[in-house]
Amino acid sequence: MEKVIKAGATFVQLREKSISRKEFIVEAQEIRKLTERYNVPFVINDDIDVALASNADGVHVGQSDMNAKDVRGLIGDDKILGVSVQTVEQAINAKENGADYIGVGAVFSTSTKLDADIVTLDTVKKICKSVSIPVVVIGGINKDSILLLKGSGIDGVAVISAIFAQSDFKKATIEMRSLAEEVCRDKNSY
């Protein structure tokens, strides 16, 4: 994780589905130390208790998790709240209920979340136009697919295997950051 942060990762989300709560908290606390040292925002996926126990900057929840308004009430106004969405209606609802950013996806097929439905590029564009908070896309994004998002209006990309499935994490992070900056810099051209 430190290599990835030092190479230019601008935000870290920890997602764990197969470890104990105790292990999850310990891992989150260790990553929190790194993100604090490098001043990188850090959120926990789907687990408010782990987010609070690790003093993470916030939490990211999905549509099948707790309502964004309820999550906001539990974490307070000073924590980051991210919400996964797949439709314009969900995006507007997330923003109205306290989300600081939304995650849209999957935009391409992904091996990380096999049951993820694909969100079309047209829907991504409509979501970007419908909300005033940052829109981050996820799902199957890699060095070959990222440029297909140019002109969509997105504010960022979330990746896993594009970095962590590569033999050189540092090189992969530098390359993905450069491509993401190119795609997001062009956000107003649609």
Active site residues: 15, 84, 113
Question: CA angle, 113 as apex, 109 and 119 as ends, to 5°?
Answer: 45
* Three-class DSSP category at 106: coil
> How many residues in total does the chain contain?
190
Give CA 84 to chain center in angstroms. 8
- Rounded Cα distance between 32 and 37, Å, is 8
Contact 59, 98 (CB under 8 A): no
